[in-house]
Amino acid sequence: MRRSATPPSPLPQRAGIDPVRLRLPPGDWPDLRGYLLHRYAGGAGAAAIAGLLERREVYGANGAPVDPAGPYLPGTYLWFHRELPAEPVVPFPVEVVYRDDHLLVADKPHFLATTPRGSHVTQTALALLRERLDLPALSPAHRLDRLTAGLVMFSVRPPDRGAYQTLFADRRVHKEYEAVAGHEPALALPRTVRSRIEKTRGVLAAVELPGEPNAESRIELLAHRDGRGRYRLTPATGRTHQLRVHMNALGLPILGDPVYPQVTDPAPTDYRRPLQLLARVLEFTDPVTGLAHRFESARTLEAWQDYPAWAGAGPAR
């Protein structure tokens, strides 16, 4: 039996965040309230959903609030907005580098997550750009670590999303990063590093393990001075923390890294020493328009430009 199409949301986004969509599963419940309190039991979930029901802030496909005492109808769609947590405002702007009817390329700052995850929801590049540019259908083509600055791509229209995501999955995007780390004269560069990297969910640091390599990075030294090096990093693969792991394995941990070589715990609003890693270049042929694109970040790594200011107490720029 063919599954019916999902109805459109009756609720607009809030601060660039989509409402929660819930499809009631098969089951026998006396009413909606009973099922929803059961589903979201534990922690603050039950109290939050009870409050939404009391305020009539759970909606059906017709755009009307549902009756908490109404019948339980499997297959019914419901929508509601979760209460958004208070988040520290990241005090650095995300810039738009390029925009057409299909593609948006942004130059994001350090400390700003690409997409909502965990405690970072509204303070993300996706949510901020959706709201600022009135682009509710904007979606990421790939992701950049919260601590890494630089270029990140978004699809403007849902029909194009798969084409841009496949571009990255098929490794048809040339990516170059820039990093600042210590300089080791005895280390022969350039070189290509290959290893097996595994990242366990809930564990901050990824690790290298024996086995078939699944990560490859080319490391080049562009310049050095005062014991520091400026490096061009070209990943051939996209494992989590890949460049940070490979640089650390070479004995060149990237300056400002709170995870490698050891995990530290800087305050969430301590912006003084950002990770000195920048997604500098994205180059590809647009799968929708056929245009050849090369984009370059306008940002700089301050540990190379002005190391004393970066290492001291001055704020990140």
Crossing angle of helices 32-39 and 45-54, rounded to 10°? 150
Show Cβ contacts of residue 227 under 8 Å, excluding neighbours closer than 6 positions.
Answer: 182, 183
Looking only at the bridges linking them, the beta strands covering 277-285 and 149-155 are parallel
- The pair of structure tokens assigned to 201 is 């969910």
145 noted as active-site residue: yes
The two three-digit tokens of residue 112, written as one number: 């700003």
Distances (CA, A) of 265 to 113, 162, 253, 270: 18, 37, 17, 10
Q: Is 317 exposed, middle or buried (0-12, 13-18, 19+ CB in 10 A)?
A: middle
**Closest residue by Cα to residue 232 from 164, 168, 174:** 174
Q: How many whole angstroms separate alpha carbon 115 and alpha carbon 66? A: 30
CA distances for 11 relative to 8, 63, 79, 136, angstroms: 9, 7, 7, 12
Q: 16, exposed or middle or buried, with CB in 10 Å at 0-12, 13-18, 19+?
A: buried
CA distance 110 to 137: 24
Query: Scanning the structure block, which residue is given the tokens 């603050």?
Result: 44
Q: Are the CB atoms for 193 and 217 separated by under 8 Å?
A: yes
From 18, 67, 145, 306, the catalytic residue: 145
> Tokens 């704020």 appear where?
315
Q: Which residues are known catalytic residues?
A: 145
